């Protein structure tokens, strides 16, 4: 990456982080959409101006990405990337570039933070539970021989690793309240009357830790999935890290694969330790954020080249 590109990328990262914070910010229009006072309130506290600035900066970035991809002099990679695929679908349609940019933004916002946040929670749990880390490494290293690199095809056979990811998503769903819903009609839930047009947040974080549904819910114990068929594809309501129904994450398979593959690669190629002088009790598991629930503090780990490839 040359200097100018690096600058643009750094700027994008900054605007992207600002967008994530702005999306989680309290907006009067979100909570009182019918009230004319809400818009006035959001303007007064500067939220509308902030949204507009972030929108213009993101729009300029996506415009640049599209121009680069449509440049006839561009050296094309061997296979089309997501942007190429979207451009091909869009070509010949009587549409502006706006839907294209919106789709790219959805993929960026929906795809990048969720997967990286999940990976960080997984590594945090593994460093606190060394027996689980060792068991997952044994499975991977016994399957993928020395000096070979892990392939996506290997994932289907990594049963324990998949349980580790499932357990991570149970305890740490990156989108703890899903996307907001609105009731269409009057409903009664557990004796409470919910009028139509009420905004609903589904707390999947709390559902994943419900002691009525889960034995020792606070414990990180991937083996709990060994003999039960509960999965995260939206039909088992006790485990909904990707949501359910019409708004379920459209990239559920891609998201799960990214996390499984990256985690498996990290565990295959490296041994992981805490920095000298730190114990697992020092690793804070405090989280923060409403839209995306991530670690509050950075996770510091020391990788070293694996000492032992095959465990007994």
Position among 154, 168, 243, 267 found at the interface with ligand HEM (CB under 6 A): 243
**3-class DSSP state for residue 198?**
coil
Q: What torsion do the CA atoms of 152, 156, 157, 158 make, to the nearest 10 degrees?
A: 80
Residue nearest to ligand HEM (CB): 243
208 is an interface residue for ligand HEM by CB under 6 A: no
Does the protein bind ligand HEM through residue 241 (CB under 6 A)? yes
d(CA 33, CA 37): 9
Q: What is the helix, strand, coil percentage profile of the chain, to 5?
A: 55, 5, 40
Buried b / exposed e along 149-158 (16+ C-beta atoms within 10 A): ebeeebbeeb
62 touches ligand HEM by CB under 6 A: no
Is residue 174 involved in binding ligand HEM (CB under 6 A)?
Answer: yes
- The answer to the question of whether 249 is labelled as a binding residue is yes
Q: Is residue 179 at the binding interface for ligand HEM, with CB under 6 A as the rule?
A: yes
Per CB under 6 A, 291 contacts ligand HEM: no
Interface stretch with ligand HEM, choices 70-78, 182-190, 213-221, 237-245 (CB under 6 A): 237-245
- In the complex, minimum distance from the CB of residue 21 to ligand HEM, in angstroms, rounded to a whole number: 18
Residue 272 CA to residue 301 CA, distance in Å, equals 7
Residues of span 114-173 touching ligand HEM by CB under 6 A:
114-115, 118
Give first-to-last CA distance, the chain, whole Å.
43
| CA distance readout (Å), 205 to 51, 77, 149, 177, 201 | 28, 40, 34, 7, 11
Nearer of residues 183 and 309 to ligand HEM, judged by Cβ: 183
Contact assessment for residue 290 and residue 20, using Cβ atoms and an 8 Å cutoff:
no
Contact residues for 247 (Cβ-Cβ < 8 A; gap 6+): 178, 179, 181
Closest approach, Cβ 6 to ligand HEM, in A, equals 24
Window of 12-20, 62-70, 221-229, 239-247 that interacts with ligand HEM by CB under 6 A: 239-247
Q: Which of 15, 207, 244, 263 binds ligand HEM (CB under 6 A)?
A: 244
Rounded to 5 degrees, φ, ψ at 102 are: -65, -40
Name the residue nearer to ligand HEM (CB basis): 136 or 244.
244
CA dihedral 265, 266, 267, 268 (to 10 degrees): 40
Shortest Cβ 46–ligand HEM spacing (Å) = 27
Q: Are 67 and 59 in contact (CB under 8 A)?
A: no
Residue span binding ligand HEM (CB under 6 A) among the ranges 42-50, 104-112, 126-134, 289-297: 104-112
In the bound state with ligand HEM, the residue whose beta carbon lies nearer, of 141 and 292, is 292
**219 and 209 in contact (C-beta within 8 Å)?**
no
Nearer to ligand HEM, 144 or 258 (CB): 258
Residue 249 lies near ligand HEM (rule: CB under 6 A): yes
The residue (of 19 and 249) whose beta carbon lies closer to ligand HEM is: 249
Q: In angstroms, what is the minimal distance from the CB of 173 to ligand HEM? A: 6
Provide the binding-site residues for ligand HEM, judged by CB under 6 A. 106-107, 110-111, 114-115, 118, 174-175, 178-179, 241-244, 247-251, 254-255, 258-259
Residues annotated within a binding site for heme: 249
């Amino acid at each position: 990456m040359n200097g100018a590109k690096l600058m643009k990328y750094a700027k994008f990262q900054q605007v992207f982080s600002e967008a994530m914070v702005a999306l989680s910010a309290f907006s009067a229009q979100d909570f009182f959409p019918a009230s004319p006072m809400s818009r006035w309130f959001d303007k007064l506290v500067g939220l509308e101006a902030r949204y507009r600035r972030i929108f213009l900066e993101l729009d300029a970035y996506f415009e640049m990405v599209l121009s680069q991809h449509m440049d006839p002099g561009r050296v094309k990679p061997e296979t089309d990337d997501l942007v190429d695929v979207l451009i091909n679908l869009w070509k010949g349609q009587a549409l502006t570039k706006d839907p294209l940019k919106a789709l790219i933004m959805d993929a960026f916002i929906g795809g990048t933070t969720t997967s990286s946040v999940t990976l960080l929670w997984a590594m945090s749990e593994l460093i606190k539970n060394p027996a689980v880390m060792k068991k997952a490494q044994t499975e991977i290293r016994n399957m993928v021989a020395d000096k070979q690199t892990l392939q996506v095809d290997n994932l289907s056979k990594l049963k324990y690793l998949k349980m580790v990811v499932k357990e991570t998503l149970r305890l740490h769903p990156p989108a703890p309240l899903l996307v907001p819903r609105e009731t269409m009609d009057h409903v009664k839930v557990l004796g409470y009357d919910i009028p139509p047009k009420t905004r609903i947040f589904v707390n999947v974080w709390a559902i994943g830790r419900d002691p009525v549904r889960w034995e020792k819910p606070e414990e990180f114990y991937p083996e709990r999935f060994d003999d039960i068929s509960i999965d995260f594809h939206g039909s088992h309501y006790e485990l909904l890290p990707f949501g359910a129904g019409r708004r379920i994450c459209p990239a559920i398979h891609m998201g799960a694969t990214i996390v499984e593959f990256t985690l498996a690669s990290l565990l295959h190629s490296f041994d992981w330790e805490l920095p000298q002088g730190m114990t697992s009790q020092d690793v804070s598991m405090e989280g923060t954020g409403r839209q995306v629930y991530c670690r509050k503090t950075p996770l510091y780990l020391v990788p070293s080249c694996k000492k032992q490839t095959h465990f007994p």
